[in-house]
Structure 1
Amino acid sequence: MPTRIYLVRHGATDLTAEDRFAGSSDVPLSDAGRKQVAYLAERLKRKKLDAVYASPLQRTMETARTLALPHGLEPIAEPGLREIDYGHWEGLCRAEVESTFQAEYAIWQEDPFAIAPLGGESGVNVLNRALPTIRAIIERHRHRTVLLVSHKGTNRLLISSLLGFDMRGYRDRLEQSPAALSILDFTSEVRARLCLFNDVSHYDDDSGQILTAC
């Protein structure tokens, strides 16, 4: 029996809706985000979960608590699952960054895995903490099912690495919608099979308002 990982991105925030860089910014879920997560909790409530881990930021811990509650579990804060720190871009919308830091943004766009904004992290930095974290969790819960709540960038980096993708394209080639569910089965700490990716079927049949707020 493989070790199964439910990999979840947190629900939407107000900064998500405004397309702002919010890696290390500690913000709560928006009302739309809480609704998205509630739908996912309903979807997963009959699944057997052995543990729940989450990045320690508000939006991920709030998501994790909602998902863990039906299972009688308390989420464990795991700093290795934090989002990329965008340095001096934090809190700015994409258009502001493109115009204010044009040269830096252009270089970063070419290789976000190796390049970091001033004062921030590269994809390499994030993977250096996130990959050992997920491997330790798999070792700790071998042959069980664990739910991890992390972030858009961190999830994409983990999936790209585990599946052997070109890491320079992790932003362009993979999506992670708010409150999206991906499922990975592990036969060892390094051998992963992607069984489900970026699934939001628990809320995409609801009003278009939720999706617009993402």
Structure 2
Amino acid sequence: MCMDLLRHGEPTGGLRYRGSGVDDPLSQEGWRQMWDAVGGKANPGGPWDRLVSSPMARCQGFAEQLAQRLGLPMAIEPALREVGFGAWEGRSHEDLKLNSLDEYLAFFQDPLKSRPQGAEPLGEFRGRVSDALARVETRYRGQHVLLVTHAGVIRAGICAALDVPLEAMYRIKVPYAGLTRLRRDERGLMLEFVNRTRVS
């Protein structure tokens, strides 16, 4: 069983916190990033048998177009949506540094205990993602699946594969349209590669 996790491209609205509460569509550059990741809009390709997408617009719109172009089945998995950032939804990094620096630094020092007000608990988020990945594995056993999703979901998947503590999750950088592969074999869930910019 092989799962490729593709982060969405750049959204409109600039660099800001978008969790499960803010859902900007892809910018023109974001669409270009996504098509480039799969071999180009004119001739996309990949080793996949099917696609599974987050329900958020910045993922689903591209996943639907790619599935149509490749002639592959596609499903929506609601639990692959991004982590909820609560009061930080829609706020820029610069705004937080300028107006909430202590809170901003505390989050990165201990994102498990220093969550933004109203944010989804990180342990619950990791459980949600782990359950979603397990459902994908069960439903599509033996297939190669492309999951179009979010940086937080990809970080949670990497942490699960490597048994990394949740406190370290935000030390994993995931670029727009970065591609990460998880593979399960007789040894368990393995991390094959992280953050490729183009499918091989």
Does the alignment reach a TM-score above 0.5? yes
User: How far is the alpha carbon of 1:74 from its aligned partner?
Assistant: 4.4
- Pick one of 1, 7, 10 that aligns with 1:9: 7
For 1:92 and 1:71, locate their aligned partners in 2 and report how far apart those are by CA, in whole Å. Answer: 36
Paired letter, 2:161: L
Partner of 1:110: 109
Q: Secondary structure at the match of 1:42?
A: coil
Partner of 1:54: 53
Q: Secondary structure at the match of 1:134?
A: helix
For 2:46 and 2:109, locate their aligned partners in 1 and report how far apart those are by CA, in whole Å. Answer: 40
* Unaligned stretches of 5+ residues in structure 2: none
CA distance change for structure 1 residues 115 and 76 in 2, over 3 Å: closer, same or farther? farther
Q: Which moved more, 1:140-149 or 1:162-171?
A: 162-171
Paired letter, 1:122: P
Partner of 1:139: 138
Q: Which moved more, 1:145-154 or 1:93-102?
A: 93-102
Partner of 1:22: 18
For 2:180 and 2:53, locate their aligned partners in 1 and report how far apart those are by CA, in whole Å. Answer: 15
What is the aligned-residue RMSD (CA, Å)? 2.0
CA contact (8 A) 1:37 1:67 kept: no
Q: Which moved more, 1:193-202 or 1:41-50?
A: 41-50
1:76 corresponds to 2:75: yes
Paired letter, 1:133: A
Under a length normalisation based on structure 2, what TM-score does the superposition of the two structures give? 0.88
For 2:141 and 2:148, locate their aligned partners in 1 and report how far apart those are by CA, in whole Å. Answer: 18
Taking every aligned residue pair, what percent have the same amino acid on both sides? 28
> Within 5 Å, which residues of 2 pair with 1:150-165?
150-165=149-164
User: How far is the alpha carbon of 1:155 from its aligned partner?
Assistant: 0.9
